[in-house]
Chains A and B, each alone.
Chain A
Amino acid sequence: MAVRYRKGSGNNVSWSFFCLQKKGFFFTVDALLAASILLGGLIILSSNYISTQPTIHLNYLSQDIINCLDTLKINELNNSYVDGLIANGNITDTNNSILQQVGEFWAAEKFEIARMFMGNITEDILPDRYGFGMWISEDLIYQRDNPPPSSRSSARKLISGIEKKKPVKGFISKARANNFIKVGTEVISFSPEGAGWEGDFSNPGEVVIQKYFELPANINVTNSTFYVSLHMEDDGPDWQVININNGLCTINRDQIDFFGGEEGTFDIINIAGCIHNGTNKVTLRLRNPGYNGHIHPGMLIKVDYNINESTQTYNNTFSKRYYFDNLTSNEGSTHQSGAWASLPFYIPEDAVNISVSMRIAGKNIRNYTGSGTFSSWSGWKYMRDYDYILFVNGGSPFASSANPAANPVYSYNSSQISSKLVDGTNVVSVYFNNYGDSSWGGGHPQIYSDPINYPNNSSYVEVNYSLPQAVAPYGSIKITHFKEFGGSANWLKETSFKFPQQAIEMGDVFTHIVQQYSYIVDVRADTYTPPSHLVFTSPSSRAVPTTVFIPGSVLDLSSTANNYVRVSDRNYNEILPETSVEYSFYVPSFVGYRNVFATQNEAETDALSRLNQTVGVFVSAENLVVESSEMRDVPTMWGPAVMEVRVWH
């Protein structure tokens, strides 16, 4: 575009002017073209910068839709499809918002219903030119495919309490064993007592012991076993030793195994059918012309039963009368007689307000005035000074009498006895006209007791105390287990046991000592082997009760802990394998609310299953009468589910 100028004619000037004019036009056009190109470039450049943005109104639309779905209730809809869902039970709560409802469908995996539901509801509220879709936690619930998306927007909402495959509201259930058939064992102990003194085969001295005991009317006795541990004559004519319930069952001397031919016998005799509900009476007749007949430790009746029971209302006060057996020592040809008996009773270590009173009623007691002596607790004593001797937990007499009445009655109140009491097993021993191997009675001295007909005139120990808390935990069942020591007879025997994991509290624990002969027995128990905690020792010779209480404080309720019990005789008399531990514990009779289930049936099944795991081990499931109650509409903190609405056009 170089510009050249020439001087010349007018034509030349005109031409020059024209050329100049044309050049200006040309330059102008050129400049405009350049400007257009630059402007075009800028526009293209700008258009490349500006990407497509979601239209603002789409944002509002998606937000409005989700708000609308969250606010609108099912009962506010006028939609025949929704009415149908209500009618057929797919919608149960018309107070739900649409969003909640579709969330519930999703949680219950009712995807098709959810899709139809959303389609029906959004069909009319959103014009066709918009695309719409709903997702819950990335699961597509509903999508309107037209038109293909060019701009899109989404809005989300969190809803807690909803989760896929989980019940939105569920059922919980608890169950209680209101009635159950419990298998139990009752032990009726005979403590050492006697005696039938001397005589000969034709006219032996004989002790007649009558024991009364009550079994509840509502139990069903399934079996009874007599553990017979006696010292009596093993030779000469046979006689009836045991009479149960006035001749219902009898056992003669020759039916009893004498365990190696000694006078001390131990035998286990099945007496099924001999023991029944209500009052039972067992009469023993013991003779021993060469010595004296008496009961040894280990004499007991085990009664197996089942009982239709319900959980009981337990209290924390305890009151019980322990009756002596009615015992008469009849003289034989040698005119010797004398009655003695021991009676154990138990006081827990945490008992308070303890009150123990005692009544001893003797009959036909001889006021001996002769000069004979006997070997006693501290040397030799004159018989005439000790026609009546009473021991309470000690080797020295608690009371005695030199000139008793023929039918004496001795009463002792709580303040007199309290200083002699011990925690655990207490033993009272009464002697009329005899002690040790000596007797100086005549006729038929008797320790009188008739708890059925004349309880207040009988001989007894009455024990009252209260415990800091109820004996049994609230709503529990008491279960009792037995374990025999087993093995072979030995002067020292030990066993161990564990409480089950279901046990919530310990009940009473006893050991039932079985011996053929006995002297002074020690019982030790704790959680170590060998146990070192002395829980009982005989206060005097022969004062070995069949049943010894083991305080719970030395034991451990934990199901992983071993509890050891060791029994030993200081004179090396054998402890027999039939010696046993009786331990009771409490298990809950109910299970509370636990997991949430989609249906009432599932919740109840779970509750019953848990109840069976708790008490079913001890009470057979088919014997369990269960009452369950359920609670519905229990929410759970599932999620949160993310509800997302997407809108596009």
Chain B
Amino acid sequence: MALRFTYGKKGVFFTFVACIFLSLLIFSTSVGHNYELRQKSFVMETRVDTMNHFVSDVEEDIERAAYIAGFRSLISLVEHVISTGEYISDVNSSFNELFLNGTIDGTNSSFLVNNTFVDWIDKIDDEASKINLIINFSINNISVTQADPWRIKIDVGVGINVSDEEEISSWNKNKVITSYVELDGFEDPIYVVETNGLVDNTVRRTNFSYFVSGTDISNLLEHTYGGYYIEFTGAPSYLMRLEGDFGSSAYGIESLVDIAELMSKGISAKDKSIVDYIYFGSNNPTKYHVSGAPSWFKLDNSSNAENNQTHLDLYEVNGLI
């Protein structure tokens, strides 16, 4: 009996030991499996994280690319006007062509060589492939508008699709990128076209807070001789100037033509108001000589779009005519 008992105890013990061994075996297998899962999960997390950073990085860089390609496209438009003496018939269309293809009317612009938005896409594509990503862009729309009198706004609607070569994950995103180009330093196309390329003037915002003090018109004359610009809603905007449109815009700017400079370059003077879009345009409203100014210094009394300010008001010469 005792012997049976002893044998029975031994069985329990061995069973117990076997259970421990079994448990250890299961534990060991399960630890290994968990490790593999964790490892996979970690790789995926890192990969997704990398893609996420790349996508947000590209989104940031698009703005820089749009600015660079947009800036250069605008210069190319101006350069085209300077070179040909002809206004741009459709600024938006030509801008699109330059921005993407680097051509204007089918002709390559030296300014956009390796500087188009498509060139940037190619470079980003290369960067993506270095980290085994596939990136595709779709350009939905591009528009160039006047943000305010002194800035051009470039909107690029772009779709971005990023996927991993291992097909772990993918991003699909539509975004509108907006860049602004300051007009300071850009050449006014009206001057160069209307003077057969003899006279140019760059857009520089006037720094005079007032033009006339009593009978002192020195600021007004400085403003004129310096070729400075001022906002006036009866005047054409910069983009309108590129198209040779002398109409009015809410973002209009204007300068006063230095007739003496024109004459010094052999251009005969017209007896008109020296407000640039009137002097070079076909309208010829009544003009008034400003007392104390050279004989050619004449201003008209046209109103702005809101009809609450005239040129005589703007230049503070109501009491000097």
Q: Which residues of A contact B (CB under 8 A)?
A: 5, 20, 24, 27-28, 31, 34-35, 38-39, 42, 45-46, 49-50, 53, 59, 63, 70, 155-161, 172, 174, 176, 178, 310-314, 473-475, 589-590, 592-595, 629, 631-637, 639-640, 642
Contact = CB atoms under 8 A, between A and B. Distances in A.
A314 B195 CA distance: 11
B198 A313 contact: yes
Contacts of B65: 160, 637
Contact of A474 (B6, B57, B75, B197): B197
B277 interface: no
Interface in B36-60: 42, 49, 53, 57-58, 60
B246 interface: no
A28 B58 contact: no
Contacts of B187: 629, 631
Interface stretch (B82-90, B228-236, B249-257): B82-90
B114 A637 contact: yes
Given A49-B32, A158-B57, A160-B65, A475 B197 contact: yes
B21 interface: yes
A314 B266 CA distance: 12
A126 B85 CA distance: 58
Given A20-B6, A42-B27, A475-B197, A634 B75 contact: yes
Interface stretch (B117-125, B149-157, B308-316): B117-125
Interface of chain A, helix or strand or loop or mixed?
mixed
Nearest to B182: A633
Interface residues of B, number: 58
B49 A59 contact: yes
B35 A46 contact: yes
A468 B95 CA distance: 29
Contacts of A24: 9, 13
Contact of B20 (A31, A63, A594, A637): A31
Nearest to A100: B64
Contact of B68 (A70, A156, A160): A160
B106 interface: no
B119 A637 contact: yes
Contacts of A70: 60
B151 to A, nearest CB: 14
Contacts, number: 135
A178 to B, nearest CB: 7
A5 B196 contact: no
Interface of chain B, helix or strand or loop or mixed?
helix
B75 A593 contact: yes
B35 A49 contact: yes
With most chain A CB atoms within 10 A of its CB, the pick from B28, B58, B119 is B28
Contacts of B28: 42, 45-46
13 contacts: A31-B16, A42-B24, A46-B35, A158-B127, A160-B61, A160-B64, A311-B197, A473-B85, A474-B85, A475-B196, A593-B78, A634-B75, A637-B120
A160 B68 CA distance: 9
A633 B185 contact: yes
B132 to A, nearest CB: 15
B265 interface: yes
A637 B68 contact: yes
B273 interface: no
A310 B78 CA distance: 23
Contacts of B71: 634-635
Contacts of B16: 31
Contacts of B17: 31, 34-35
A38 B85 CA distance: 91
Contacts of A629: 187, 200, 202
Contacts of B120: 160, 637
6 smallest beta-carbon distances between A and B, as pairs: A474-B85, A475-B197, A637-B115, A313-B196, A635-B68, A31-B17
Nearest to A635: B68
A599 B1 CA distance: 110
Contacts of A35: 17, 20-21, 24
Given A35-B20, A39-B24, A178-B265, 11 more contacts: A24-B9, A42-B24, A42-B27, A45-B28, A46-B32, A159-B61, A160-B61, A176-B197, A629-B202, A637-B123, A642-B127
A590 to B, nearest CB: 6
A593 B65 CA distance: 21
Contact of A38 (B21, B58, B68): B21
With most chain B CB atoms within 10 A of its CB, the pick from A312, A592, A629 is A592
Nearest to A472: B196
A463 B90 CA distance: 39
